[in-house]
Amino acid sequence: MPVSVDPLSVDPSTSLSAPAKESGTSEVLRPHAEDAFAAELTALAAQDDRPRPARWKLSPWAVATYLLGGTLPDGTVITPKYVGPRRIVEVAVTTLATDRALLLLGVPGTAKTWVSEHLAAAISGDSTLLVQGTAGTPEEAIRYGWNYARLLAHGPSRDALVPSPVMRAMAEGMTARVEELTRIPADVQDTLITILSEKTLPIPELGQEVQAVRGFNLIATANDRDRGVNDLSSALRRRFNTVVLPLPESVEAEVDIVSRRVDQIGRALDLPAVPDGIDEIRRVVTVFRELRGGITADGRTKLKSPSGTLSTAEAISVVTNGLALAAHFGDGVLRASDVAAGILGAVVRDPAADRVVWQEYVEAVVRERDGWADFYRACREVTA
């Protein structure tokens, strides 16, 4: 009979609690969500009088407010972390309040990782219990590993065991994250089946097990657009409640998302303010949406779509790079010449087929569009 492990009895060197965090974040390039938005989380917790599930830092209502934004009774403004349908966030949050794990599914660039991080930060106060899925992710990354020096010296023991982020989350009643689940080999994926169905992680080498305490849950992200992914088994998929994150519904919504993220990134990199280049941001978003959808915004011209996804995340990257060009090699104002090269790099992934798609778009759409003469010249220069 497996012995249930008391996480508090583990040697400090292999403690199941999350590692301590550094006290300052001013020099950190990208602070964790719970650090970057600590003031908002504190304000929400102080005014949150609704029922909270076991070990949750906030109530489900407050978690949704943290993600979607709003104004608290004391006037504190909560900035939106996700711009999209409210119901999607509500379903995701309520899923995590049950014993069902959450799978965030969507095409690349729909903020799956971003939403996952902020959900974990708001619920558990710690978004760092993370397993990054790759083709080489081993089973130990989800279950546990061993300190081989201690293992060889003393044999299997609790001191020699190295807990995974999932094991730590189970023992502490926190939220674990698995990114890019479909990139993990199928046999490693299925390691999660027992964890999610039985809420236990056996340690057969010791005749023990770690049982999940109340508050434990898991958020996974996946997309089915990339080539070479591993499909989830039906047994594993049944353990998740799937929430599909859509692409932004309108140009305005996508411009808002790109502007907010670029502004956040730009402040960390001391780049010019977003409002100075809002017209160029709108232009980048328009180009991406038209090529992605295969039709112009007015519905009059059908277009060929390139091989890439042209996601919102790629638009953010193009604009951020453009701001860096404007800051270091221009006058600090984002212009057409600063984003043209970035758009070309995002669109032309296949040098043969995609270049034809881009050239046709430039000549048939960009050249004829009022107010886009500077952008047309910039595009011609980078493709010449």
pLDDT in tens, the chain (384 residues): 555 555 444 443 344 444 445 445 567 888 999 999 999 999 999 999 999 999 999 999 999 999 999 999 999 999 999 988 999 999 999 999 999 999 999 988 889 999 999 999 999 999 999 999 999 999 999 999 999 999 999 999 999 999 999 999 999 999 999 999 999 999 999 999 999 999 999 999 999 999 999 999 999 999 876 655 778 899 999 999 999 999 888 999 999 999 988 988 888 888 877 666 788 999 999 999 999 999 999 999 999 999 888 989 999 999 999 999 998 998 888 999 999 999 999 999 999 899 999 999 999 999 999 999 999 999 999 986
What is the layout of strands, in order, in the sheet containing 200-203?
3-4, 208-211, 200-203
CATH homologous superfamily of 3-244 equals P-loop containing nucleotide triphosphate hydrolases (3.40.50.300)
Contact (Cβ atoms closer than 8 angstroms) between residue 194 and residue 200: yes
Q: What number of other Cβ atoms are within 10 A of residue 190's Cβ?
A: 16
Beta bridge partners, 162, equal: 145
Q: What does the CA dihedral 131, 136, 139, 142 come to, rounded to 10 degrees?
A: 0
| Two tokens, residue 81 | 């972390």
User: Is residue 348 classed exposed, middle or buried when 0-12, 13-18 and 19+ CB atoms within 10 A define those classes?
Assistant: buried
Q: What is the pTM of this model?
A: 0.86
The domain locations on the chain are 3-244, 251-383
Contact (Cβ atoms closer than 8 angstroms) between residue 216 and residue 173: yes
| Cα–Cα distance for residue pair 98/256, rounded to 1 Å | 32
144 φ, ψ to 5°?
Answer: -170, 160
pLDDT (0 to 100) of residue 228: 52
